[in-house]
Each structure stands twice: as structure tokens, then as C-alpha cells.
Amino acid sequence: MTGPALTTLAARVGALTVPASIPSPSQGVWYLGPFPLRAYALAILLGIVAAVILTRRRWVERGGIADDVLEIVFWAVPFGIVGGRIYHVISSPDKYFGAGGHPWKAFAIWEGGLGIWGAIALGGVGAWIGCRRQGVRLPAFADAVAPGLLVAQAIGRLGNWFNQELFGGSTTLPWGLQIDDAHLPAGYPSGTLFHPTFLYELVWNLAAAAVLIWLDRRFKLGHGRVFALYVMLYTSGRLWIELMRIDPAHTIGGFRLNVWTSIVVGLGALVAFVVVSRRHHDRETTLLRDPPAAQGDEETAPEPTR
């Protein structure tokens, strides 16, 4: 086969295997009579379901009771949604309280806009309440849920794809994201392709979840160290992805608020991991806050049956 023929064949194969761009969904909401069914909400729900399934499996593997997970999630999810919305509104105030803003839309969660930092922070409060009610240790549960959180966040990013939001700057890469004119940022001509940051974070989160599961099985991590690694891995990815995004956001010192948050939270998790690792070298031998048959140090307390 001649050189030109090989070049033509390679071009044709490339055209079949590499997409020219990633199309955005034509709609993100469907109606069942008068009731809207939004892709953003579905993505969040699917993410929660996936996280619960994975967490139940990991919790049982660590010696926990499967029903504990649903009881704790019952508290964590509502707190997390409220916290996520509060952080989103605080970090993007102009959209709601600036010129031409609509303050009442701060409550329209179904239209999109949840900040992961607020969701984890207030969701953690809900999980703490649930853990106390179930009599289990929060750090142990946090270790079990950490990979599930990453999977949930990955699935949730599909909602941004359907909403055509939170993408990066323009690109000529073959996986550039198409944005229709109704969602096109000011100053960009029709047909411009953008970095699909939703996809970057989706892939990063799934890879990070796999790494967490492997590290946990390999080193038998406990006492909140898996959760600390989750925070470090997530903030590392969020940092570089955040620097690519072009949607309006509150800035400090020329950088988006989420960039600073990623740095501070990631460093905090690193410190926590080091401190806990010096105190605990192995995984907990009991998941209960107050094991009734404990003898001596909590590290050697046997796991009672509930």
C-alpha cells in the first residue's frame, strides 16, 4: 500500500474513532403532564443511589450492618442538599442578588447549582447525627462512604452536561463540547467548542474512587484516613479543572473562590491524614462508638453483635 493510501486510510479510521466534538443534549427537562422531570435532578438521584449501593457493600465488608447506611443517609442527604445550595448562592451571589438577579431563584435547586463544599460540610453534620443515632463512629463511616461520594459526584456532573453549564474555555481538541447559541457565553461566535470540564471531572472522580478502593484494600486504612485521601484527591482534580472554567464566579486575588477553597481544604486533609496516621497504623477493630464489651484500649475492643 502506498504512502498516500496509508494516509487516507489512517484519516478515515481516525474519523471513525475520534469524535469531531461532543454534542450537548438538546434538552434537559421533560414534562409528565404539568410536572417537570429534570436531567439535573435525575443525575443527582442516580448518584445518591450509586453511592448508597457502594457504601452498603463497603460498610458490611468492614463489619457494619447494612441498614445503618440508609439510616445515616436519611440525615446526610437533606443536610447535604441544603449545604450545597447555600455554598453555591454564597459563591455566585450576582446571579441572584446582583443587577438583574432574581433572589427567589436562590431556592430553585431544581434549576441546578449545588456547591460540593457546602454539601460535604453540612452533609457531614447530617451524617454525624445519623451515626450518633446508630451508635457508630463517624470516621469509620466516612471511610466507607468516601469512594461512593466520588462516584455520586461523577454521575452528578452529567447534570451540568444536560444544562450546558460550567464548561471551560474554547478549544480545538476533537472532544470539544458543542454549546447551542442560547447557552453560548458572550463574546464567543456560534459554533465555538469548549473544554468539557464536566467530563474531565467525571473521569477524574471515577479514577480517584478506584484508587481509594485499592489503597484501602492494600493498606487497611481506617480512622478517617480514606476520607482524608478522598478530599486530597478530589481537591487536586478540582483545582486544575476550576482554573479552566469560564463561568462567572466570585474571585479573590484574581482566582476563583473554589480555587482557594480547593487549596485550603486539600492542605487541611493532608494535615489530618498525617496526624491520624501517626496515631493509628491499622483499621478500627470496632465500628461502634461505645462497644459494650470493650476491654482496655479501644484499639483492641471486640466487635459486639447488635
pLDDT over 70 (residue 8): no
pLDDT at residue 11, as a whole number: 47
H or E element: which one contains 31? strand 29-32
pLDDT in tens, 112-132: 788 999 999 999 999 999 999
Taken in order 270, 274, 276, 281, is the CA torsion positive or negative?
A: positive
Q: What percent of the chain has pLDDT over 90?
A: 78
pLDDT at residue 113, as a whole number: 82
pLDDT in tens, 12-60: 544 444 567 999 999 999 999 999 999 999 999 999 999 999 999 999 9
pLDDT at residue 250, as a whole number: 85
pLDDT in tens, 78-90: 999 999 999 989 8
pLDDT in tens, 213-255: 999 999 999 999 999 999 999 999 999 999 999 998 889 999 9
Confidence of residue 104 (pLDDT cuts 50, 70, 90): confident
pLDDT at residue 299, as a whole number: 47
Distance CA 113, CA 120 (A): 14
pLDDT at residue 219, as a whole number: 96
Distance CA 99, CA 202 (A): 33
Annotated domain spans of the chain: 40-283
> What is the number of residues in the chain?
306
Q: Are 244 and 217 contacting, i.e. CB atoms less than 8 angstroms apart? A: no
